[in-house]
Amino acid sequence: MKDVITVATMRESDAHTIALYVPSRELMYRAAMGVYQAVNWQGKKVAIFTGSGNNGGDGYALAGILADHSVPCCLYQVSEHYSEDGKYYYDQAVEKGVERKRFSEGEDLSRYDILVDCLLGTGFSGPVRGAFQQAIQAINRAKAYVVSVDINSGMNGDTGKGDLVVRSDLTVTIGYLKAGMFLGEAVWKVGRLVVADIGIRLVREDFFLATPEEMVFPRSGLSLQSSQVTMMTPGEAESVSKNGQTIPDVAQEIALRSQRLVRVLGKHSLVTDGYRTYFMEEGEYPAEIASLGEGERKE
């Protein structure tokens, strides 16, 4: 299983790693290198959109790496404010001759093959406004290949919600998968998802993502299909149906009446069938969500 964490856990893990193990500037460089290694840049023209925080700093570090490998790149700055480490890598990019522009509405992006989204990081929440709104709209209108760094700008890292979110072809998330990437409409925004391991020490475990291989259980070659069907339900769910049963209780009762094997996932689990990922979000659910089992058809 793969770790999936909240924004708070990522923030604490980042601070813990910086305090005891790896300097923040080195982590930023590793993040940029992780993005570089996830994409084929050769022969491409690249535009990197940067904001004011460390997400923008990742973009400046990436610009320097691209310059080292003779990949033409232009920085579109939506904000001219920098984090301390971001300013260090911005200065390096300037020294290496990276082209820089202040982003303006109506910018022609048609000459670029790859657009890199380093506007807003995992700590962002709320509506997107001003130049950031214009930049995200421009990225979404473009026909180029879009890469989001850490998380798609405009997306809430815990809930996956966002009124205006970058739609990427590839998202290179830093350190660990973020919970919001698997909720709501987020799954349709992140594109292909890659994790860049930069050596962040996790302070606690929040959720787990089951891989397709872990969802398949061994069976005898002589067994019948009807004896091998497995139903997996999230355990310890807080949502309660009208008759007082929890959602796992209802699902298990239905499965048992159908004489099927039931496996209960532990608390805080994500389930994937290899195509979509399912997660029981907090809230009240009608009992009809478990309307499987015997019944009769009404004409």
Highest average pLDDT, of 24-38, 181-195, 243-257, comes from: 24-38
Q: What pLDDT, on the 0 to 100 scale, is given for residue 259?
A: 44
User: What is the percentage of the chain residues whose pLDDT exceeds 90?
Assistant: 64
Q: What is the pTM of this model?
A: 0.77
Return mean pLDDT, the chain. 82
In the structure, what pLDDT confidence band is assigned to residue 4 with cuts at 50, 70 and 90? very high
Q: Which residue has the higher pLDDT, 23 or 238?
A: 23
Mean pLDDT of 187-211: 91
d(CA 227, CA 223): 7
Q: What pLDDT, on the 0 to 100 scale, is given for residue 174?
A: 98
CATH architecture observed for domain 2-207: 3-Layer(aba) Sandwich (3.40)
Q: What pLDDT, on the 0 to 100 scale, is given for residue 125?
A: 87
Note whether 72 and 47 are within 8 A (CB). Answer: no
Q: Which residues are annotated as a binding site for (6S)-NADPHX?
A: 54-58, 121-127, 150
d(CA 142, CA 140): 6
Spatial CB neighbours of 278, under 8 Å, sequence gap ≥ 6:
270, 271, 272
Q: In what helix (H) or strand (E) does residue 46 lie, and over which residues does it extend?
A: strand 46-50
Least confident of 1-10, 11-20, 260-269, 272-281: 272-281
In the structure, what pLDDT confidence band is assigned to residue 207 with cuts at 50, 70 and 90? confident
Q: Is the pLDDT at 230 greater than 60, yes or no?
A: no
Mean pLDDT of 150-175: 97
Q: Which residues are annotated as a binding site?
A: 54-58, 117, 121-127, 150, 153
Note whether 62 and 32 are within 8 A (CB). Answer: yes
Q: What pLDDT, on the 0 to 100 scale, is given for residue 292?
A: 40
Q: Where are the alpha helices (DSSP H) in the chain?
A: 7-20, 24-37, 54-68, 84-95, 130-141, 247-257
pLDDT digits (tens, 9 = 90+) for 39-85: 999 999 999 999 999 999 999 999 999 999 999 999 999 998 999 99
Q: Is the pLDDT at 15 greater than 70, yes or no?
A: yes
Q: What pLDDT, on the 0 to 100 scale, is given for residue 158?
A: 94
Closest CA to 90 of 82, 149, 120: 82
Closest CA to 285 of 253, 252, 237: 237
DSSP characters over 91-154? HHHHHTT-EEEE--TT---TT-SEEEEES--TT--S---HHHHHHHHHHHH--SEEEEESS-TT
Least confident of 21-25, 41-45, 225-229: 225-229
pLDDT digits (tens, 9 = 90+) for 272-289: 433 344 444 444 433 333
Q: Which residue has the higher pLDDT, 269 or 164?
A: 164
Q: Which residues are annotated as a binding site for K(+)?
A: 55, 117, 153
Domain positions in the chain:
2-207, 210-290
- Written as one letter, the residue type at 275 is Y
Note whether 14 and 83 are within 8 A (CB). Answer: no
Q: What pLDDT, on the 0 to 100 scale, is given for residue 191?
A: 95
190-212 as b/e: b if 16+ CB within 10 A: bbebebbebebebbeebbbbbee
Q: What pLDDT, on the 0 to 100 scale, is given for residue 238?
A: 44
Q: What pLDDT, on the 0 to 100 scale, is given for residue 187?
A: 87
In the structure, what pLDDT confidence band is assigned to residue 295 with cuts at 50, 70 and 90? very low
Q: What pLDDT, on the 0 to 100 scale, is given for residue 223?
A: 63
Tokens of residue 262, six digits: 């039931």
